[in-house]
């Protein structure tokens, strides 16, 4: 089985990583699993509507490819969420079938609790928070607190005027790399951020998603003038275009900012 509904809605709330359920019988799970890898953006978003809980069969699961999340239902009413990024080499797992979450790239299989059932993967799929709403929607993130907000205690004191302070400027984001890190005619892969930065000509910096458009591995390196994926041999030019298949679509561009000698994601 592969993904059902596309992601319908996003919010900007950033949340923690664990698993929760709001309907009766939903259990917290996966707390002992490995933490989310840095840079896995889908893991950091909450409020993403994945689809309907009823699409997830009991004793099986469903891969939500866009969100890179797989949701399983080991027993009726107990939903578990995991990163769908295979811990072997980063492919997005293909399906949940015959009781396991299966990665097509090199045959790894994971049980419905995210643990490895068959290698070459050796690490479990990291757990993700997944909530089932009263309407039956599967949403990323923890269930919202149900307690009513506490009223501030009544006071007879006159309200104290808050001192007016000039707004504090947010510090600029730390640079991802120095321009000197990126060779002219080459580039560098930033695995945690899942981006690759290239410098096709001196002073011209380009940035792309490092997630291979073939089957979702993170590209391995920039070498001999191309961005190379180790999974099935796809190569991309320094402008992100496909130079060798099996990938057929270019790497999506990412905005990048160069200030002085610092490169940061815009």
User: By the criterion CB under 6 A, which residues form the site for ligand FES?
Assistant: 86, 88-91, 103, 105-108, 120-121, 212, 214-217, 229, 231-234, 246-247
Minimum Å distance from CB 87 to ligand FES? 8
Q: What's the CA gap between 66 and 103, in Å, rounded?
A: 16
Minimum Å distance from CB 184 to ligand FES? 25
Minimum Å distance from CB 219 to ligand FES? 7
DSSP β-bridge partners for residue 257:
264
Q: Which is nearer to ligand FES, 90 or 141 (CB)?
A: 90
Q: Which is nearer to ligand FES, 42 or 121 (CB)?
A: 121
Q: Which is nearer to ligand FES, 83 or 215 (CB)?
A: 215
Q: Which is nearer to ligand FES, 73 or 234 (CB)?
A: 234
Minimum Å distance from CB 230 to ligand FES? 8
Q: Which is nearer to ligand FES, 19 or 105 (CB)?
A: 105
Q: Which is nearer to ligand FES, 88 or 128 (CB)?
A: 88
Q: Are 91 and 65 in contact (CB under 8 A)?
A: no
Q: What's the CA gap between 266 and 264, in Å, rounded?
A: 6
Minimum Å distance from CB 155 to ligand FES? 60
Minimum Å distance from CB 89 to ligand FES? 4
């Amino acid at each position: 089985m592969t993904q059902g509904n596309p992601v319908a809605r996003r919010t900007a709330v950033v949340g923690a990583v664990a698993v929760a359920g709001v309907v009766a019988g939903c259990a917290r799970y996966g707390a002992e699993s490995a933490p989310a890898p840095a840079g896995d953006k889908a893991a950091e978003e909450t409020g993403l509507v994945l689809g309907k809980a009823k699409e997830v069969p009991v004793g099986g699961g469903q891969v939500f490819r866009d969100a890179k999340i797989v949701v399983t239902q080991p027993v009726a009413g107990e939903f578990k969420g995991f990163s769908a990024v295979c811990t072997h080499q980063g492919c997005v797992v293909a399906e949940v079938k015959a009781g396991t979450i299966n990665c097509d790239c090199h045959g790894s299989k994971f049980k419905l609790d995210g643990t490895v059932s068959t290698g070459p993967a050796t690490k479990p799929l990291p757990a993700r928070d997944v909530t089932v709403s009263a309407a039956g929607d599967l949403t990323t993130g923890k269930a919202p607190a149900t307690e009513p907000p506490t009223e501030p205690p009544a006071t007879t004191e006159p309200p104290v005027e808050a001192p007016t302070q000039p707004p504090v400027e947010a510090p600029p984001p730390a640079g991802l790399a120095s321009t000197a890190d990126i060779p002219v005619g080459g580039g560098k892969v930033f695995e945690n951020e899942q981006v690759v930065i290239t410098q096709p000509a001196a002073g011209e910096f380009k940035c792309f998603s490092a997630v291979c458009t073939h089957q979702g591995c993170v590209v391995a390196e920039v070498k001999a003038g191309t961005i190379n994926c180790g999974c099935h041999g796809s190569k991309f030019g320094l402008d992100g275009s496909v130079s060798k298949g099996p990938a057929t679509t270019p790497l999506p561009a990412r905005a990048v900012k160069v200030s002085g000698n610092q490169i940061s994601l815009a």
